[in-house]
Amino acid sequence: MKYAIPAPTTPSIAIDGRHERFPIRRIFCVGRNYAAHAREMGKDPDREPPFFFTKPADAVCDSSSIVPYPPLTDNLHHEVELVVAIGQRANRIKAEAARNAIWGYGVGIDLTRRDLQLAARDAGRPWDWGKAFDFSAPCGPLRPVATAGHIEAGPISLSVNGAARQNADLKDLIWSVPEIIAYCSAAVELKPGDLIFTGTPAGVSSISPGDHLVGRITGLDDIAITISEASSEQEEE
């Protein structure tokens, strides 16, 4: 295949204990999937059908990354999440069979320009500018199901500069991982390389340049990032 311009590099995530990396095709994110987080966002935590938003594949960055504070915001928030990596095609799959589509799991942080998200929400507009920006989907190394099994319960937490901000258990998910996969695959065909960020627990709050974030889920590798000042290119804008 010959392209008019150089083809972009395929975004990817590290795999625990391997030299190979996991290529990323698309990123789906589930909104308000923990009751306590729904309440802190001023929403009813009743078990209504899950809803999804997306991030660009190249929003991913590895653990230990230095993440520049993004432009257009004064209220950048952290949201630690279980990340599911899809390894098989899933089209209108049933929840009972959804685990077969999972390649592995990781710990991610959905970085959010909260002021832009809330302004868009209140105006009935898409969330893209609040959610889908550069470096907005840090993710730790994936653990393959083939070696580590499935992750269905256990502590999930995030600390900022060593102080706890978010603490919960994966069993508190309103919609389980198999149910999330089933719902998502009813709308779009999931394919190998797709990621699903499964929602964040309560305790989201603002972060600033210089802050060091560590996200943890028992049984998986941590995600650790440091927020830096805006890049020089951003400052020039």
What confidence score (pLDDT) does residue 237 get?
44
What confidence score (pLDDT) does residue 233 get?
56
What confidence score (pLDDT) does residue 47 get?
67
Give the integer Cα–Cα distance in Å for 235 and 229.
9
* Structural domains of the chain, with CATH: 19-236 (3.90.850.10)
What are 30-59's pLDDT values in tens digits?
A: 988 987 666 666 666 666 788 999 999 999
Residues counted in the chain? 237
The gap from C-alpha 4 to its chain's centroid, in whole angstroms, comes to 32
Burial readout 128-148 (b: 16 or more C-beta within 10 A, e: otherwise):
eebbbbbbbbbbbbbbbbeee
CB atoms within 10 A of CB 42: 8
pLDDT (tens digit, 0 to 9) for every residue of the chain, 237 residues total?
Answer: 899 999 999 999 999 999 999 999 999 999 889 876 666 666 666 667 889 999 999 999 999 999 999 999 999 999 999 999 999 999 999 999 999 999 999 999 999 999 999 999 999 999 999 999 999 999 999 999 998 899 999 999 999 999 999 999 999 999 999 999 999 999 999 999 999 999 999 999 999 999 999 999 999 999 999 999 986 554 444
What dihedral do alpha carbons 230, 233, 236, 237 form, nearest 10°? -90
What confidence score (pLDDT) does residue 236 get?
46
What confidence score (pLDDT) does residue 35 get?
74
What confidence score (pLDDT) does residue 158 get?
98
What confidence score (pLDDT) does residue 125 get?
95
* The pTM of the whole model exceeds 0.85: yes
Q: Are 181 and 102 spatial neighbours (Cβ–Cβ below 8 Å)?
A: yes
